[in-house]
């Protein structure tokens, strides 16, 4: 449930990070590759630039994670 406001995320290593319901709307420099190995859910909020790239899988169903 972290709120990441105006954080510079370029180069951050998030593999294995628990990011359920985290708010990254204003994060800067975050890429889809950085969150590939993170634990997210459908409530995790992404910057506009990532909304179509980051996906959440739930019970065999893939939904957007924005």
Q: Which residues does 15 contact at the CB level (< 8 Å), separation at least 6?
A: 36, 37, 38
Domain residue limits at 40: 1-66
Output the pTM of the full model: 0.71
Distance CA 4, CA 62 (A): 24
Specify the number of domains making up the chain. Answer: 1
Distance CA 1, CA 61 (A): 23
Whether the CB-CB separation of 50 and 28 falls below 8 Å is answered with: no
Q: What pLDDT, on the 0 to 100 scale, is given for residue 12?
A: 94
Q: What pLDDT, on the 0 to 100 scale, is given for residue 11?
A: 93
* pLDDT-based confidence at residue 20 (cuts at 50, 70, 90): very high
For 23-60, how does the pLDDT look when each residue is reduced to its tens digit (9 = 90+)?
A: 999 999 999 999 888 999 989 999 988 888 887 665 44
Q: Is the pLDDT of residue 15 over 50?
A: yes
Q: Which residue has the higher pLDDT, 5 or 23?
A: 23
């Amino acid at each position: 449930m972290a709120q990441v406001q105006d954080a510079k995320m370029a180069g951050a290593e998030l593999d294995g990070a628990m990011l359920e319901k985290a708010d990254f709307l204003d994060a800067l420099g975050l890429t889809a590759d950085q969150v590939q190995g993170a634990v997210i859910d459908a409530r995790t909020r992404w910057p506009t630039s990532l909304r179509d790239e980051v996906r959440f899988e739930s019970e065999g169903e893939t939904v957007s994670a924005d």
